[in-house]
Amino acid sequence: MNRLRTNAVCLVVALSLAVTYFYMIRPLALGRPNDKTNLWVFSAMSKSSPHLGAIYPVWRSRVAGMWISGQLMDDAVKNGQLSAEDLQDAFGLYHSVWLFLFFVMLGFLVTDPLFAIMACFGCMFYMFTPRAAMYSYPWDIPAMLFFTLNYLLWRKGQYAVMLAIMIIGYLFKETIMLSGVLYLFSDLPKWHKVRYLVATVAIATVMKASITLGVDGKISFVTNQFISGTQANAFIDSTFLHNVKELTTPTMNHFLFVNGGTFILSLLLPMRTRIEKGTKAMLGLFSVASMLAGALNEFRIMLDILPISILAVREYLQVPAIAAVLEAQSLAKPVPKVAKIAGGGRSGVSKFRQPTSTESGF
């Protein structure tokens, strides 16, 4: 009954926050002055203005989100005309619905869902800071949903289901395959871990080959941008070096504060249990991948790992509190009363007979 009541409250809160997000994200459909990237990506697979081949190769594989947004874009076109109001409504609806689905997922799979929902919503706001450039793409929130779902499935031991989620999630963003590292920290026998890891690699290979062949007409296994300039200055123009400069440049709007600071904090937490080791492995692998092929000042890319960072910090803080409560309950437990044995003249003897060695478990 308590869980049902919690889920009902979470649904109301989730719906309210999704509506709030709709009105916040809606104006971003038009982007910034002289920067229509949001609209450019949102409409890439629309029939009214198809231009998938014109966007960056690293984005072209993320077809599911762009296909759905393209359909919404076409629905907003009336008699060959597209009004700014209709465009913003379609853009806001797409992102807010995905956010609502993400919150619903948290409501059913997380122990303390209301905290997780509110914390995630609050930390998402850092993607609206100036250096984030107010970019919002069709794969951002879906990737966060599927990435988190796979992490929670791992914690529940649903290892086979994780593979199915990888297939679906890959259509939105390929980073979901990083969750395969969690199999190394499962409670499975060694051979089963190897099988799941091989399956993860197979899914990534087949999905990449199939999508790039369908989109570009040729198979490409590496579409991420590791170099932002020319091959002649590969190191100077490397994404890694640009990210190092980003991290070492003092500023108020710094990567240190991304995701409400929870990402950096979660990387510094100790690894005491199997769950904590698996969580740290995923966070670490994601950070390495981001340094090599991501733009850290585009803070929206950190949405993938936001819920996992929050859960890691939350559980780290909860462990001492739970231990303290259990200790207090143990100290407050009443001592069994001592009574006289009926018919006996001595006091201070328990009315319970002492167990034999067999009964006591020895």
The answer, yes or no, to whether residue 329 has pLDDT greater than 70, is: no
Mean pLDDT for 111-125 is 94
Determine phi and psi for 289, rounding to 5 degrees: -60, -40
The answer, yes or no, to whether residue 360 has pLDDT greater than 70, is: no
CA dist list (Å): 67 to 58, 94, 137, 296: 16, 12, 12, 26
Q: Is residue 355 included in any domain, yes or no?
A: no
Residues 83, 88, 90, 91: what is their CA dihedral angle, to the nearest 10 degrees? 140
Q: Is residue 353 included in any domain, yes or no?
A: no
Mean pLDDT for 236-251 is 87
Q: Is residue 352 included in any domain, yes or no?
A: no
Q: 2 and 134 share a domain?
A: yes
The answer, yes or no, to whether residue 256 has pLDDT greater than 60, is: yes
Domain end marker among 93, 108, 138: 138
Q: 122 and 171 share a domain?
A: no
Q: 188 and 296 share a domain?
A: no
Domain end marker among 138, 170, 188: 138
Q: 68 and 21 share a domain?
A: yes
Determine phi and psi for 51, rounding to 5 degrees: -155, 40
Query: Residue 167: which domain range?
Result: 139-223
Q: Work out how many domains the chain is built from and give that number.
A: 3
Residue type, 353: R
Band the pLDDT of 355: cuts 50, 70, 90: very low
Q: Is residue 14 included in any domain, yes or no?
A: yes
Q: 6 and 46 share a domain?
A: yes
Q: 35 and 150 share a domain?
A: no
Q: Is residue 218 included in any domain, yes or no?
A: yes
The pLDDT value given to residue 358: 36
Q: 181 and 216 share a domain?
A: yes
Closest CA to 106 of 95, 96, 119: 119
Q: 198 and 143 share a domain?
A: yes
The answer, yes or no, to whether residue 192 has pLDDT greater than 90, is: yes
Domain end marker among 94, 112, 138: 138
